[in-house]
Structure 1
Amino acid sequence: MARLKVGDILPDFRYETPFERGLLMSSTACKANRTALVFLRYYGCTLCQYDMHEIADNYQHILGGGAQLLVVLQSEPKKLARQLAPDAFPFSIVCDPQQELYHRFEIMPARSKESMLDSATLRKIEKARQLFSHGEYEGEELQLPAVFVFDGRLSISYVHYGKTAGDIPGTDELIALLT
């Protein structure tokens, strides 16, 4: 499949969270005006933990606009269920340990560790290390992020394929995209 672009219809898919199985993205998407699907690496990654907590801290603003957000991780659902309480985050975590969605939507890994880092990402990593401890490694260590925003009919209004490990829209930009 080719990379997604604005105007495409997101192909529907089944997914699971650490606490639920057999969910359908089309059923989830129709519950909100807009949905953001944020692809990160895995939960043990300090940078991913940082991004998830930044989103969680601002999630009420996302909900206020009638939107929702889901984070996709390459983590095993059973491992996350042991690590997290069901209400640890105000959004759902889509577990994709086999990276099927990453491959399907052509969210590629970086070519090298050096190519996935820029000065902004290094600053973000430094902040993350002050707040979080690195956990277990899972998935593709060089995985780059991506963000897709779509409506209840899965029509995509925003696409961002990250160029570095920290390259996702900030929370203010996410809120603006979703409200």
Structure 2
Amino acid sequence: MKQYNVGDTFPNLLISTAYKEDRYVYDVLRGKTIFWVLRYIGCPVCRYDVAQIAANYNEFRAHNAQVFVVMQSDKTHIRETIGADELPFDIICDNDMRFYQTLMIHPAESMDALAGTRKDKLQKKGAAADENGFTHGDYEGDELQLPAMFIVDENRKISYVHYAKELADMPEIDEVLNLLL
């Protein structure tokens, strides 16, 4: 199978979250839906991303958008790490890797490839995660898993897709907001 492209129909995958009943992708598509595919909740940089998405969530809503973060974490790890359901968006618990496999989001070939060439960006984000108190938690899933992002419209069509080539190869919040204009 090939990776998805702009204009392709997003698959109707089952969404399992830590706090809500299971449902399908097509049941939740409203406005522009961002599937922000990260690694796992124990990853400090991923926790920082979750916090930044939450802090800026009103801006996403102002652009008629909603976010679902996809992680390899199971429901228990999400609940233990996040605590009460206080995020303004859902984290999809994809510990069986259905999203990653169906969407063809491949892991890096090695830890060096995961770290990649953008080490300054990765170190800066790691320092911000540390400053915000995000320490490394349990390892889950594939430690080499690369992130990705999909923006899907109400008609199930992908309007933006990005498969990261290394851990720091993801758009920043302001870049994602600009994509929604």
Q: Could you tell me the TM-score, scaled by structure 1's length?
A: 0.93
1:65 lines up with 2:67 in the alignment: no
For structure 1, the 5+ residue unaligned runs are none
How much does 1:78 deviate?
A: 2.6
1:93 equivalent among 91, 94, 117: 91
* RMSD (CA atoms): 1.3
Comparing 125-134 with 87-96, which one deviates more in the overlay? 125-134
1:2-41 aligned within 5 A: 2-29=2-29, 32-41=30-39
User: What are the ranges of 5 or more consecutive residues in structure 2 without an aligned counterpart?
Assistant: none
Alpha-carbon distance in 1 for matches of 2:85, 2:76: 16
Once the two structures are superposed, residues 60-101 of structure 1 have per-residue CA deviations (whole angstroms, 9 ceiling, x without a partner) of 000011110100000011332233244321111001001121
**Contact 1:36–1:178 (Cα < 8 Å) also in 2:** no
Aligned pairs for 1:69-148 within 5 A: 69-117=67-115, 118-119=118-119, 120-131=121-132, 132-148=134-150
Letter in 2 for 1:122: Q
- Equivalent residue runs for 1:136-175 within 5 Å: 136-175=138-177
Question: What stretches of structure 1 move > 2 A for 4+ residues in a row?
Answer: 81-88
Q: Aligned pair count?
A: 177
Does structure 2 retain, via aligned residues, the 8 Å contact 1:35–1:178?
no
Q: Percent identity?
A: 37
Is the 1:47–1:166 contact (alpha carbons within 8 Å) kept by the matching residues of 2? no
Q: TM-score, normalised by structure 2?
A: 0.92
SS of residue in 2 equivalent to 1:97: coil
- Structure 1 stretch displaced more, 148-157 or 166-175: 166-175
Q: Give the residue type in structure 1 aligned to 2:70.
A: V
Find the aligned partners of 1:51 and 1:20 in 2 and give their Cα distance. 21
Question: Within the alignment, does 1:49 sit opposite 2:51 as a pair?
Answer: no
